[in-house]
Amino acid sequence: MSPACEDLRPFLDGELPEEDQRRIRGHLAGCEACATRFHDLLQLEMLARLALEDAEESARWVSARQARERLPGSWHEDVPENWPGEAALAAQPAPPPEHLEGRAWHQGARRYRRRCPGCASCCPWFAEGEAVEAVRLPRWSCPRAGRSGGAVLRPRPRR
Amino acid sequence: MVPGREEPPVREGSGGEFAAFAIRHQPVLVAIARNVCGRGASDCDDLVQDVLLRALLQWERLKRWPEPARRAWLVRVLHNRFLDQCRRQGAETDRRVDLHNVHMLFEDPEDSPEPEQWECVTEDELRQAVARLNEKLRQAFELHARGLRHAEIARRMNTPSAGTVGTWLFHARRRLKVMLHDTAERRRQERER
């Protein structure tokens, strides 16, 4: 690897002094590897200059990206092109509740609590009137506590 | 096209198509050639003239190609002619085209055996990828693509040194290459099928 190889980008940007430019032109004439890299840089340069010459078009892409980033879940790279904007999302009706209201839900919650003793993370009535403590556990049977474990609320042991 | 710039009238037909092509690409070619040939050199004008002349001679073929392929061809010609110029300056072997070797203009060593990465990327895809760059890299790259020097970019972005701008541009180019690699590869394989 020649020292000239390091300077190909500043050379393409026209940022080198005349003396260094001459040195690199001389080097490019004989070095196949550098000529290939330079060709690659040239292709990107040409494409970028053609694509970004229109400032308004480029600004439209940026605002589209920023709009997408405000949406939940948009940290994922593969956001589809036809992803609805915020207005479309707000116009949709609210999603139905995840659980059934009423006695069945309460009984189900109690049953669930029996399966998952000692965890207040998943049962909304657990903490009511009971003394709890937050503990950090390596692994907990409750699926909501996360796979790697985490802080959960459990009844404080009676002494 | 740059907004606000006066566009000369373009004639209908094949000549008009070439005129539109040349009017769009010539300023970009000049900007790049001026950077690599050294400022104030007549080599720069010769290089761009040579590239556009070859495009005109090959136009019957080029006009049927998609835009990215035409662009890549133009860059290949620019690259090869520029290397010729470098070799000429080094070894003083004159391969300038004159009446004795004018047939060289019609020979086309610029056909690439297989499509390159940048030949498989459209301008829209590049714009999308640039929009995904982080704020500083994107701004620096866009200002650079509009022809600003590193020092000017540094001034506009309130950065103390032009060297920092060079580093941002380095990272921007590398990330763009990585981001667009998969798309280009997929398209290349589709073409080969």
CATH top-level class for B114-193? mainly alpha
Domain assignment present for A97: no
Same domain, A45 and A81: no
In chain A, DSSP assigns E strands to 132-137, 150-155
Task: Annotate A119-132 with DSSP letters as a single string.
Answer: --SS-TTTTTTS-E
Q: At B47, is the secondary structure helix, strand, or coil?
A: helix
Higher pLDDT among residues B54 and B87, named by residue = B54
Give the closest-approach CA distance of A87 to chain B in angstroms.
22
Domain assignment present for A98: no
Cβ distance of B130 and A58 shorter than 8 Å = yes
Residues 6+ apart with CB under 8 A from B68: B118, B119, B120, B121, B122, B123
Residues 6+ apart with CB under 8 A from A113: A122, A123, A125, A126
Mutate to test the interface with B, among A8, A46, A57, A76 (most CBs of B within 10 A): A46
Same domain, A18 and A62: no
pLDDT digits 0-9 by tens, B25-77: 888 888 888 888 875 567 888 889 999 999 999 898 888 888 888 999 999 99
CB nearest to B87's CB, from A10, A13, A29: A29
Q: Which residues of A touch B91 (CB under 8 A)?
A: 29
Give the closest-approach CA distance of B53 to chain A in angstroms.
18
Same domain, A43 and A61: no
Q: Which residues of B touch A75 (CB under 8 A)?
A: none
Cβ(A58)–Cβ(A52) below 8 Å: yes
Categorize the per-residue pLDDT at A112 as very low, low, confident or very high, splitting at 50, 70 and 90: very low
Q: Per-domain residue ranges for chain B?
A: 7-112, 114-193
Range of the domain at A34: 3-52
Query: What's the helix, strand, coil split of chain B in %, to 5?
Result: 70, 0, 30
Q: Which residues of B touch A30 (CB under 8 A)?
A: 90
Q: A71 pLDDT exceeds 90?
A: no
Q: A70 pLDDT exceeds 60?
A: no
Same domain, A48 and A62: no
- Distance between CA A89 and CA A101 in Å, rounded? 26
Q: Report the pLDDT value the prediction gives residue A18, as an integer from 0 to 100.
A: 84
Nearest residue in B to A30, CA atom: B87
Query: Which residue among A65, A91, A117 closes a domain?
Result: A91
pLDDT digits 0-9 by tens, B134-172: 888 998 998 888 888 888 889 888 887 888 899 999 999
Categorize the per-residue pLDDT at A53 as very low, low, confident or very high, splitting at 50, 70 and 90: confident
Q: Report the pLDDT value the prediction gives residue B187, as an integer from 0 to 100.
A: 83
pLDDT digits 0-9 by tens, B90-119: 654 445 556 666 666 566 556 655 667 788
Same domain, A128 and A144: yes
Mutate to test the interface with B, among A15, A22, A74, A75 (most CBs of B within 10 A): A15
Q: A28 pLDDT exceeds 50?
A: yes
Domain assignment present for A107: yes
Give the closest-approach CA distance of A88 to chain B in angstroms.
22
Cβ(A89)–Cβ(B37) below 8 Å: no
Q: Report the pLDDT value the prediction gives residue A125, as an integer from 0 to 100.
A: 47
